[in-house]
A and B are shown apart, each in its own frame.
Chain A
Amino acid sequence: MGIYLKNIDLKGKTALITGATKGLGRGAAIAIAEAGGNIIAIGRNQSELNTLKKEVKKFKVNYLPFNCDVNNYNRMKLFISKLKKLDILVNNAGTNIPEPFLKVKKSSMETLLNVNTKSVFNVAQLCANQIIKLKRKSGSIINISSIFGLVAGQKRTVYSMTKFGVEGLTKGMALDLAKHNIRVNSVCPNIVLTPRTKKYFADKKYNKYIKENTPMNKVVTVSDVATSITFLASEAASMITGASIIIDGGWTAK
Chain B
Amino acid sequence: MLKKINLKNKIALVTGAGKGLGKACAVALAEAGAKVIILSRTKSDLIKVNKIIKKTKGSSKSFVCDVTNLDDLKKVLNKINRLDILVNNAGNNRPQHFTKVSQENMEYLTNLNMKAAFNVAQLCSQKMVKAKNRREIGGSIIHMSSQLGRVGCEGRNVYNMNKFGVEGLARGMAFELAPYNIRVNTVCPTFVETPMVKKFFKNKKFKSKMLKNIPLGRVAKESDVATAVAFLAADSSEMITGTSLLVDGGWTAQ
Seen from chain A, the residues whose Cβ lies within 8 Å of a Cβ on chain B are 2-8, 27, 30-31, 34-35, 170-171, 174-175, 178-179, 181, 183, 190, 215-218, 220-224, 226-228, 230-231, 236-243, 245-250, 252-254
Q: Please give 11 more A-B residue pairs, beta carbons under 8 A apart, in addition to A240-B224, A246-B243.
A: A3-B28, A4-B25, A174-B215, A178-B249, A190-B239, A216-B239, A226-B2, A236-B5, A239-B221, A243-B246, A249-B239
- Which residue of B24, B215, B223, B241 is within 8 Å of A215 (Cβ)? B241
* Nearest neighbor of A229 in chain B, beta-carbon distance: B2
Q: Tell whether, in the assembled complex, residue B253 and residue A230 are in contact, meaning their CB atoms are under 8 Å apart.
A: no
B4, CB-defined interface residue at 8 Å: yes
Q: Tell whether, in the assembled complex, residue B239 and residue A242 are in contact, meaning their CB atoms are under 8 Å apart.
A: no
By a CB distance below 8 angstroms, the chain A residues around B31 are 2-5
By a CB distance below 8 angstroms, the chain A residues around B190 are 239
Most buried by A among B3, B31, B221, B236: B3
By a CB distance below 8 angstroms, the chain A residues around B253 are 170-171, 174-175, 241-243
* Nearest neighbor of A1 in chain B, beta-carbon distance: B223
Most buried by B among A27, A30, A236: A236
By a CB distance below 8 angstroms, the chain A residues around B175 are 215, 250, 253-254
- Docked complex Cα distance between A99 and B231 (Å): 37
- Docked complex Cα distance between A242 and B225 (Å): 16
B89 nearest CB across to chain A (Å): 13
A31-B248 contact in complex given A215-B178, A241-B216, A253-B243, C-beta closer than 8 Å: no
B242, CB-defined interface residue at 8 Å: yes
By a CB distance below 8 angstroms, the chain A residues around B1 are 27, 30-31, 34, 222-223, 226-227
B159 nearest CB across to chain A (Å): 20
By a CB distance below 8 angstroms, the chain B residues around A8 are 2, 4-5, 236
Mark interface residues in B231-243 (1 if CB within 8 Å of A CB, else 0).
Answer: 1000011111111
- Which residue of B28, B171, B178, B246 is within 8 Å of A2 (Cβ)? B28
By a CB distance below 8 angstroms, the chain B residues around A240 are 224, 228, 245-248
B195, CB-defined interface residue at 8 Å: no
- Which residue of A4, A215, A252 is within 8 Å of B27 (Cβ)? A4
- Which residue of A6, A35, A216, A221 is within 8 Å of B241 (Cβ)? A216
From residue 205 to 228 of chain B, which have CB atoms closer than 8 A to chain A? 215-218, 220-228
By a CB distance below 8 angstroms, the chain B residues around A243 are 245-248, 252-253
**What is the count of residue pairs linking A and B with beta-carbon distances less than 8 angstroms?**
174
B122, CB-defined interface residue at 8 Å: no
By a CB distance below 8 angstroms, the chain B residues around A226 are 1-2
By a CB distance below 8 angstroms, the chain A residues around B226 are 4-5
By a CB distance below 8 angstroms, the chain A residues around B152 are none
By a CB distance below 8 angstroms, the chain A residues around B181 are 216
Q: Tell whether, in the assembled complex, residue A241 and residue B249 are in contact, meaning their CB atoms are under 8 Å apart.
A: yes
Q: Tell whether, in the assembled complex, residue B224 and residue A239 are in contact, meaning their CB atoms are under 8 Å apart.
A: yes
By a CB distance below 8 angstroms, the chain B residues around A218 are 239
* Nearest neighbor of A181 in chain B, beta-carbon distance: B216
In the A-B complex, the 10 residue pairs with the smallest Cβ-Cβ separation, listed nearest first, are A253-B242, A242-B253, A178-B215, A215-B178, A2-B31, A243-B246, A4-B28, A171-B253, A5-B28, A5-B31
Mark interface residues in B26-51 (1 if CB within 8 Å of A CB, else 0).
Answer: 01100110000000000000000000
Q: Tell whether, in the assembled complex, residue B240 and residue A245 are in contact, meaning their CB atoms are under 8 Å apart.
A: yes
- Docked complex Cα distance between A75 and B175 (Å): 47
A167 nearest CB across to chain B (Å): 10
From residue 156 to 191 of chain B, which have CB atoms closer than 8 A to chain A? 171, 174-175, 178-179, 181, 183, 189-190
Q: Tell whether, in the assembled complex, residue B2 and residue A227 are in contact, meaning their CB atoms are under 8 Å apart.
A: yes
Q: Tell whether, in the assembled complex, residue A231 and residue B241 are in contact, meaning their CB atoms are under 8 Å apart.
A: no
- Docked complex Cα distance between A93 and B241 (Å): 26
* Nearest neighbor of B32 in chain A, beta-carbon distance: A5
- Docked complex Cα distance between A97 and B247 (Å): 34
A225 nearest CB across to chain B (Å): 8
- Docked complex Cα distance between A51 and B3 (Å): 22
A185 nearest CB across to chain B (Å): 9
Most buried by A among B5, B174, B239: B239
B126, CB-defined interface residue at 8 Å: no
Q: Tell whether, in the assembled complex, residue A249 and residue B227 are in contact, meaning their CB atoms are under 8 Å apart.
A: no
From residue 106 to 133 of chain B, which have CB atoms closer than 8 A to chain A? none
Q: Tell whether, in the assembled complex, residue A4 and residue B249 are in contact, meaning their CB atoms are under 8 Å apart.
A: no
Q: Tell whether, in the assembled complex, residue A215 and residue B239 are in contact, meaning their CB atoms are under 8 Å apart.
A: no
- Docked complex Cα distance between A161 and B249 (Å): 26
By a CB distance below 8 angstroms, the chain A residues around B196 are none
